[in-house]
């Protein structure tokens, strides 16, 4: 008996090794057992906390990707917004038992390049014809209008920026219901000029200017800017209004391209009128 | 006391480095994974008896298993490695034996000795780990290649760590 104990004591390392190996194999064999995984809940909580700290550090390295996802999600939400739908519930018009028909569709894109320092500024987007973009579509950012799609290749698009002196867009002061024409001739990337608003219109500093929507580039009511100064010159035929653009064109990342789904129908109808 | 403390710190740092950084490296689509944490077992003091090295090895592997939610794979591989450590140390023993109270580092044992030491121990751990991970032998060449390439990377990292920490110790001295 003493010899046996002496033998066991002498080979204690080997025996411990065998014991630990058996233990690890039992662990491995029961590895997929859900209940055993629950045994370590307290340590799992500690481990989860540690990984949470890690994520708090690491998440900043993928802000680009996260932003991409959020922008796509917002485009999805804008597609469902009530203002994207045309009310077709007028008397005698019932189309497939739906009350609303979508009129505007938003496509999330990323600005690859943009200039603000030239007389005629353009932007480049990372989506093109393949994603459904086409010339003439409006481009908006989170705070307001950005420009209009100028040309599309299959994968990229160029956009005429709102900071382009050769481009005009119809704008509206929703408070007084006066339409005007926005043109960028201020040479300042934060402001633009609104023309053609008659002199009797009571435009005041601080009025919000939005898109008019009658040129079929943007939906009606997209923010454009806030009136910064109004000059009523005796010799002029219209007010001279300077607006501060609501979107900072020097800081532009994600933008949405607006598609008017009913544009083709309306254009075709109006082309017939022109032919007469 | 200082030896115990420095080993505890080494354990925490190596495990943290492993689970927070090295496990997320995704080198070559996750084909190559360096397991630097085995350095803890390798750097335990020489005079530590085999049974305590075995227990510490198992505990180290089990900690890794908790973090990577693997069932006993690291524990098994580390136990094998801890067991092999005794034999490897006997094999590499200098003529006049190991000094008491000394850890296996480049400073105490020299560059070639540490390189041989890790070249013998790290592949044992990695082969065991990678084969229990796939748990089949029909993809033998692939698993073998993964284990050996990862071992090569781990040994490189071990040598780097040894050189970096060694320089600091020399500065302090």
Cα B156 from Cα B171, distance rounded (Å): 23
- In sequence order, what are the beta bridge partners of A168? A183
Q: Is the pLDDT of residue A42 over 60?
A: no
- The interface predicted TM-score (ipTM) is 0.80
Which of A20-34, A35-49, A92-106, A163-177 is predicted with the least confidence, judged by mean pLDDT?
A: A35-49
Question: For chain A, what is the domain count?
Answer: 1
Contact A225, A209 (CB under 8 A): yes
Residue A113: which domain range?
Answer: 107-260
Nearest CA-CA distance, residue B173 and chain A, Å: 35
Which phi-psi region, left, alpha or beta, contains residue B124 (left: φ > 0; alpha: ψ -120 to 50)? alpha
- pLDDT mean over A25-44: 58
Cα dist from A8 to B20, B57, B155, whole Å: 42, 22, 36
The pLDDT value given to residue A99: 61
Mutate to test the interface with B, among A8, A10, A17 (most CBs of B within 10 A): A17
> Residue A161 contacts by C-beta under 8 Å, 6 or more apart in sequence?
A114, A115, A116, A121, A122, A123, A146, A147, A167, A249
Q: Does a structural domain hold residue A85?
A: no
Task: Return the SS3 of B32.
Answer: strand
Cα A186 from Cα A223, distance rounded (Å): 19
Q: What angle do CA B120, B129, B90 make, to 5 degrees?
A: 25
B window 39-98, beta carbon within 8 A of A: 49-51, 54-55, 58, 61, 65-67, 69-73, 75-76, 79-80, 83, 86
Task: Return the SS3 of A109.
Answer: strand
Q: Does a structural domain hold residue A11?
A: no
- Most confident residue range from A14-18, A88-92, A139-143, B76-80: B76-80
The pLDDT value given to residue B37: 93
Indicate the helix (H) or strand (E) that contains A44: helix A41-58
Pick the CATH number of B2-172 from 1.10.1760, 1.10.3470, 1.10.287, 1.10.10: 1.10.1760
Q: Is the pLDDT of residue A90 over 60?
A: no
- pLDDT mean over A248-265: 84
Q: Is the pLDDT of residue A224 over 90?
A: yes
Indicate the helix (H) or strand (E) that contains A118: none
Q: Residue A21: which of B19, B66, B79 has the nearest Cβ? A: B79
| Confidence class for position A148, pLDDT limits 50, 70, 90 | very high
The pLDDT value given to residue A248: 84
Written as six digits, the tokens of A145 are 């209008």
Written as six digits, the tokens of A13 are 């390392």
Q: Residue A25: which of B20, B24, B76 has the nearest Cβ? A: B76
Strands A223-231 and A178-183, by their bridges, are unpaired
The pLDDT value given to residue B173: 42
Enter the pTM of the model: 0.53
Answer yes or no: do B58 and A32 touch at CB < 8 A.
no
Q: Residue A28: which of B67, B79, B132 has the nearest Cβ? A: B132
The better pLDDT of the pair A249, B69 is held by A249
Written as six digits, the tokens of A166 are 């050769």
The better pLDDT of the pair A206, B142 is held by A206
> Residue B156 contacts by C-beta under 8 Å, 6 or more apart in sequence?
none
Cβ count within 10 A of residue B89? 17
- pLDDT tens digits for A165-193? 888 999 999 999 999 999 988 878 889 99
**Which residues in chain A have their CB less than 8 angstroms from residue B132's CB?**
28
Q: Tokens 């480095």 — which residue?
A: B17
Answer yes or no: do B66 and A30 touch at CB < 8 A.
no
Give me the sign of the Cα torsion angle A167, A170, A173, A178: positive
The pLDDT value given to residue B39: 93
The pLDDT value given to residue A194: 93
- In sequence order, what are the beta bridge partners of A95? A98
- What residues of chain B score a pLDDT lower than 70? 26, 28-30, 69, 135-138, 167-173
Q: Is the pLDDT of residue A232 over 80?
A: yes
B7 burial type by CB count under 10 A (0-12 exposed, 13-18 middle, 19+ buried): middle
The better pLDDT of the pair B35, A101 is held by B35
Cα dihedral A126, A128, A133, A137 in deg (nearest 10): 60
Cα B35 from Cα B126, distance rounded (Å): 8
Strands A168-173 and A157-164, by their bridges, are unpaired
| Confidence class for position A14, pLDDT limits 50, 70, 90 | confident
B20 in contact with A, Cβ within 8 Å: yes
The better pLDDT of the pair A64, B157 is held by B157
């Amino acid at each position: 008996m003493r010899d046996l104990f002496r033998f066991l004591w002498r080979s204690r390392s080997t025996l411990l090794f065998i014991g630990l190996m058996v233990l690890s194999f039992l662990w491995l064999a029961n590895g997929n057992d859900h209940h055993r995984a629950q045994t370590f809940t307290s340590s799992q909580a500690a481990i989860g906390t540690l990984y949470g700290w890690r994520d708090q550090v690491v998440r900043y390295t993928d802000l680009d990707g996260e932003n991409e996802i959020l922008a796509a999600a917002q485009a999805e939400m804008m597609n469902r917004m009530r203002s994207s739908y045309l009310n077709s519930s007028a008397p005698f018009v019932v189309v497939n038992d739906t009350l609303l028909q979508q009129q505007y569709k938003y496509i999330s894109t990323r600005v690859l390049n943009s200039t603000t320092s030239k007389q005629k500024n353009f932007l480049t987007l990372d989506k093109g014809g393949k994603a459904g973009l086409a010339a003439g579509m409006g481009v908006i950012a989170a705070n307001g209008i950005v420009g209009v799609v100028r040309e599309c290749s299959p994968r990229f698009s160029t956009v005429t920026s709102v900071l382009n002196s050769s481009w005009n867009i119809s704008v509206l002061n929703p408070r007084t219901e006066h339409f005007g024409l926005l043109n960028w001739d201020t040479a300042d990337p934060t402001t633009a000029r609104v023309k053609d608003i008659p002199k009797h219109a009571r435009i005041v500093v601080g009025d919000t200017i939005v898109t008019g929507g009658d040129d079929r580039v943007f939906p009606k009511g997209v923010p454009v800017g806030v009136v910064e100064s109004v000059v009523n010159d005796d010799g002029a035929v219209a007010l001279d209004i300077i607006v501060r653009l609501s979107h900072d064109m020097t800081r532009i990342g994600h933008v949405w391209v607006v598609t008017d789904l009913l544009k083709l129908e309306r254009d075709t109808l109006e082309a017939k009128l022109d032919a007469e | 006391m200082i030896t115990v403390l420095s080993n505890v710190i080494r354990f925490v740092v190596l495990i943290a480095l492993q689970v927070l950084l090295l496990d997320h490296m995704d080198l070559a689509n996750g084909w190559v994974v360096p397991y630097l944490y085995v350095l803890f077992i390798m750097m335990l003091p020489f005079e530590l008896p085999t049974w305590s090295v075995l227990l510490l090895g198992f505990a180290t592997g089990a900690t890794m298993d908790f973090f990577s939610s693997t069932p006993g794979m690291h524990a098994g591989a580390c136990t094998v490695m801890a067991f092999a450590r005794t034999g490897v140390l006997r094999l590499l023993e200098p003529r006049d034996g190991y000094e008491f109270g000394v850890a296996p580092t480049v400073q105490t044992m020299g560059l070639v000795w540490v390189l041989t030491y890790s070249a013998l121990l790290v592949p044992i751990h990695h082969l065991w780990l990678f084969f229990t991970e796939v748990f089949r032998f029909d993809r033998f060449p692939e698993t073998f290649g993964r284990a050996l390439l990862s071992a090569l990377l781990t040994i490189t990292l071990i040598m780097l760590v040894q050189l970096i920490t060694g320089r600091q110790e020399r500065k302090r001295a």
